[in-house]
């Protein structure tokens, strides 16, 4: 899953592959929060679903978990998927953009099914983002019931109170708490390993589960039960997507060092310790994670577990903000209000609309499901579908970006697809008991995102048929009704290079005036995460005080129109940017009904129109003050 990425030492270029201790420590807190807290519930739920805690079941489940982590986390993500960075950025949105750019470089359009698969993966991520805080915090707070049964009636209220405080904190940004993420999670991983070793020393025979023979024997002897167990084994893989998603801010090496040196051994040792507890302490199957600790360490265990799950929840919530920002720049989502929460750390954003939606969904899950055991039924399908879509997109990257031969693509991808499909299939029976929630959320968001993308495509096609800007200006200045020139600067932001902005036509038609300096701003969002400063800006002098500025930005960058204009000082003749003498003319789009001529169904036309109407204003997107903006209504045909 995608998580918030803290820029600890400047831009990725300055530390992309550095293996400094600071980056490894930061990665422990941000990258591994989710997979690091999965031992609280993964083994427990697998044994519960098996319906028995006998030796064959426990050792078989443990072997499955160990080898699932090795295959999916270590081999698939750490060794394979993490190679597919989009100029240093990762995550399913960046991967989708990489697929699109790979086809574009080859002079072809990416198959629509691949782009739609990427959108669906992103949509499923939001469902995952809703479940993670609920199941993580609930599973930790349930440890209070092991301290005293008197806490049981208060588990849900306490979990709800923690989550309310967590979501209320988001508007302040995660930079402050982010500095504490790494050390707390380092303590967490030390705790996992220490408790695991404590139990392994008592019962070393549990180490026999390192052999895949235990998993294989259980599969051969009880195939139907194994299929059921796999639906819970996937819980041990939650957060694997973060290894790829966070390479932009930490780099491959710090993440791999943290995984190999700390995270992998700690969680594996922790699972072995829980298995030993299950085998040699009857009655511990309800909460093997908390029973594994010595009795005197139970209260500290609950406290550190709650802190760790809060961190994991914080990371995935912040990740939802980051992915929303990227999706907007790539044209996959309508503009929403985005607030920068840190001037020092790039990527620190707060999205009020996303925060509110996640909060409502998380509270719904906590109050309706009321236990982590019931919530895990909803968890696996979201994780499995996201992993499956990542593998599908990686097939395209391997073939079209890396230019691998077909035999190599099949050799690597076929086993991974088989594993992913098996895990997804094992979670399909859980849809009626909870899996319906992320599937429903994913389908709704997929419809919204695909409708927005399709509507934008059709609107861009229509806009590209507009009158060329140079022809329009020539007719304007040579015609009988020449506009009156007035002092100051008018800026017309738009998205289509070389075409006449609709706001310009509307202004001339109604007001018949044109400022002495007119700047037509073509804002182009690229599939790359960042744009080289040397090629970012292109200027065209159109004569008569008119200029076209073509500005490119990557999908992790946000356009700042005022900053672009300030950089134009001395480059447009004697003109200098004066905010007091500059007016920005922005279109306020109104989508015409029934104008797509069958390219979109009517209900999708209406949906696109509503999304366009409720999207954030262009002024906010470009970072402009309301008093400097004039909005002109423009009808948009699809």
How do residues 298-334 score in pLDDT, each as one tens digit? 999 999 999 999 888 887 887 788 888 888 888 888 8
What pLDDT, on a 0 to 100 scale, did the predictor assign at position 558?
Answer: 74
Ramachandran class of 3: left when φ > 0, alpha when ψ lies in -120 to 50, beta otherwise: beta
Write phi, then psi, for 278 (nearest 5 degrees): -60, -40
Is CATH 3.40.50.300 the classification given to domain 20-434? no
Tokens of 330: 């790539």
Give 2's pLDDT tier (boundaries 50, 70, 90).
very low
pLDDT in tens, 238-295: 888 888 887 876 778 888 899 999 999 999 999 999 999 999 887 777 889 999 999 8
pLDDT in tens, 539-592: 889 888 999 998 888 777 777 788 888 888 888 888 888 988 999 988 776 666
pLDDT (mean) for 357-378: 89
Give 362's pLDDT tier (boundaries 50, 70, 90).
very high
pLDDT (mean) for 66-76: 96
CA–CA gap between residue 431 and residue 298 (Å, rounded): 34
What pLDDT, on a 0 to 100 scale, did the predictor assign at position 613?
Answer: 77
CA–CA gap between residue 6 and residue 185 (Å, rounded): 15
pLDDT in tens, 82-123: 998 877 778 888 898 889 888 887 778 888 888 889 889 888
**Who contacts 255 (Cβ-Cβ below 8 Å, separation ≥6)?**
27, 31, 78, 82, 243, 246, 247
* 18 pLDDT more than 70: no
State whether residue 571 is helix, strand or coil.
coil
CA–CA gap between residue 339 and residue 582 (Å, rounded): 24
Nearest CA-CA partner of 573 in 536, 545, 600: 545
First to last CA, the chain: 34
What pLDDT, on a 0 to 100 scale, did the predictor assign at position 6?
Answer: 33
What pLDDT, on a 0 to 100 scale, did the predictor assign at position 9?
Answer: 31
Q: Where are the alpha helices (DSSP H) in 500-566?
A: 502-511, 533-536, 561-566
Nearest CA-CA partner of 216 in 56, 381, 450: 56
Tokens of 417: 């697809």
Residue-wise burial string across 158-183, b where 16 or more C-beta atoms lie within 10 A, e elsewhere: bbbebbeebbeebeebbbebbeebbe
* 343 pLDDT more than 90: no
Report percent pLDDT > 70 for the chain.
91
Which element (helix H / strand E) includes 157? Answer: helix 155-169
What pLDDT, on a 0 to 100 scale, did the predictor assign at position 528?
Answer: 74
Give 73's pLDDT tier (boundaries 50, 70, 90).
very high
pLDDT in tens, 442-460: 899 999 999 988 888 787 7
Domain residue spans of the chain = 20-434, 466-636
Q: CB neighbours (10 Å) of residue 231?
A: 25
User: Strands 546-553, 537-543: parallel, antiparallel or unpaired by DSSP?
Assistant: antiparallel
Which element (helix H / strand E) includes 417? Answer: helix 406-427
State whether residue 338 is helix, strand or coil.
coil
Which of the two residues, 599 and 503, has the higher pLDDT score?
Answer: 503
CA–CA gap between residue 96 and residue 102 (Å, rounded): 10
pLDDT (mean) for 402-428: 94
What pLDDT, on a 0 to 100 scale, did the predictor assign at position 635?
Answer: 61
CA–CA gap between residue 363 and residue 358 (Å, rounded): 8
Residue with tokens 């426990």: 58
Give 419's pLDDT tier (boundaries 50, 70, 90).
very high
What pLDDT, on a 0 to 100 scale, did the predictor assign at position 349?
Answer: 74
3-state helix, strand, coil in the chain (%, to 5): 65, 10, 25
216, exposed or middle or buried, with CB in 10 Å at 0-12, 13-18, 19+? middle
What pLDDT, on a 0 to 100 scale, did the predictor assign at position 594?
Answer: 61
Report percent pLDDT > 90 for the chain.
37
Q: Which of 174-188, 331-345, 349-363 has the highest mean pLDDT?
A: 349-363
Give 174's pLDDT tier (boundaries 50, 70, 90).
low
What pLDDT, on a 0 to 100 scale, did the predictor assign at position 10?
Answer: 34
Residue-wise burial string across 445-465, b where 16 or more C-beta atoms lie within 10 A, e elsewhere: bbebbbbbbbbbebbeebbee
CA–CA gap between residue 62 and residue 113 (Å, rounded): 37
What pLDDT, on a 0 to 100 scale, did the predictor assign at position 569?
Answer: 86
**C-alpha angle with apex 106: 99 to 457, nearest 5 degrees?**
60
Q: CB neighbours (10 Å) of residue 539?
A: 13
State whether residue 531 is helix, strand or coil.
coil
Range scoring the smallest mean pLDDT among 386-395, 427-436, 495-504: 495-504
Tokens of 100: 């699109």
């Amino acid at each position: 899953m995608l998580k918030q990425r803290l820029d600890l030492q400047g831009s990725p270029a300055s530390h992309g592959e550095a293996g400094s201790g600071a980056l490894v420590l930061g990665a422990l807190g941000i990258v591994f929060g989710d997979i690091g807290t999965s031992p609280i519930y993964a083994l427990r739920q697998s044994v519960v679903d098996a319906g028995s805690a006998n030796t064959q079941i426990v050792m078989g489940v443990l072997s499955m978990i160990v080898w699932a982590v090795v295959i999916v986390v270590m081999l698939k993500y750490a060794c394979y998927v993490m190679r597919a960075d989009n100029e240093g950025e990762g995550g399913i949105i960046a991967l989708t953009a990489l697929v699109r750019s790979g086809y574009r470089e080859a002079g072809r359009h990416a198959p629509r099914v691949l782009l739609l698969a990427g959108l669906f993966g992103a949509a499923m991520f939001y469902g995952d983002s809703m479940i993670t805080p609920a199941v993580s915090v609930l599973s930790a707070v349930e440890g209070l019931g092991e301290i005293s049964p008197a806490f049981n009636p208060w588990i849900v209220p306490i979990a709800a109170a923690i989550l309310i405080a967590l979501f209320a904190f988001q508007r302040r940004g995660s930079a402050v708490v982010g500095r504490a993420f790494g050390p707390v999670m380092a303590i967490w991983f030390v705790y996992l390993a220490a408790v695991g070793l404590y139990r392994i020393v008592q019962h070393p025979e549990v180490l026999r589960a390192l052999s895949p023979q235990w998993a294989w024997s259980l599969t051969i002897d009880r195939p139907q039960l194994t299929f059921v167990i796999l639906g819970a084994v996937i819980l041990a893989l939650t957060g694997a997507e973060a290894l790829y998603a966070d390479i932009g801010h930490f780099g491959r090496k710090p993440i791999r060092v943290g995984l190999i040196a700390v995270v992998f051994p700690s969680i594996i040792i922790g699972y072995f310790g829980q298995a030993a507890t299950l085998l040699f302490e009857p009655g511990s199957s309800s909460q093997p994670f908390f029973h594994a600790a010595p009795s005197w360490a139970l209260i500290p265990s609950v406290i550190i577990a709650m802190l760790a799950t809060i961190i994991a929840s914080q990371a995935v919530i912040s990740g939802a903000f980051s992915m929303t920002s990227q999706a907007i720049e790539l044209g996959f989502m309508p503009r929403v209000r985005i607030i920068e929460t840190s001037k020092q750390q790039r990527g620190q954003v707060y999205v009020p609309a996303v925060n509110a939606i996640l909060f409502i969904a998380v509270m719904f899950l906590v109050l309706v499901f009321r236990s982590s055991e019931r919530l895990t039924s909803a968890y696996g399908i979201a994780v499995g579908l996201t992993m499956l879509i990542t593998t599908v997109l990686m097939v395209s990257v391997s073939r079209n970006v890396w230019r691998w031969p077909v035999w190599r693509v099949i050799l690597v991808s076929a086993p991974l697809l088989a594993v992913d499909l098996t895990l997804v299939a094992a979670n399909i029976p859980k849809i009626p008991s909870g899996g319906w929630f992320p599937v429903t959320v994913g389908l709704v968001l997929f419809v919204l995102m695909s409708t927005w993308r399709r509507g934008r495509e059709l609107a861009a096609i229509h806009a590209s048929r507009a009158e060329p800007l140079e022809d329009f200006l020539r007719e304007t200045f040579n015609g009988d009704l020449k506009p009156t020139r007035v002092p100051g600067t008018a800026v017309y932001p738009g998205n289509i290079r070389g075409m006449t902005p609709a706001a310009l036509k509307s202004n001339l038609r109604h007001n018949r005036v044109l400022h002495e300096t007119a700047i037509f701003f073509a804002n182009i969002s690229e599939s790359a995460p960042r744009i080289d400063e040397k090629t970012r800006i292109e200027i065209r002098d159109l004569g008569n005080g008119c200029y076209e500025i073509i500005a490119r930005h990557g999908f992790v960058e946000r356009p700042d129109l005022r900053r672009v204009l300030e950089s134009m000082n001395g480059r447009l003749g004697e003109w200098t940017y004066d905010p007091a003498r500059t007016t920005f003319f922005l279109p306020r789009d109104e989508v015409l009904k029934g104008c797509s001529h069958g390219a979109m169904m009517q209900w999708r036309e209406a949906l696109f129109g509503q999304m366009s109407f409720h999207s954030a204003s262009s002024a906010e997107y470009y970072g402009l003050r309301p008093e400097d903006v004039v909005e002109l209504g423009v009808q948009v045909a699809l």
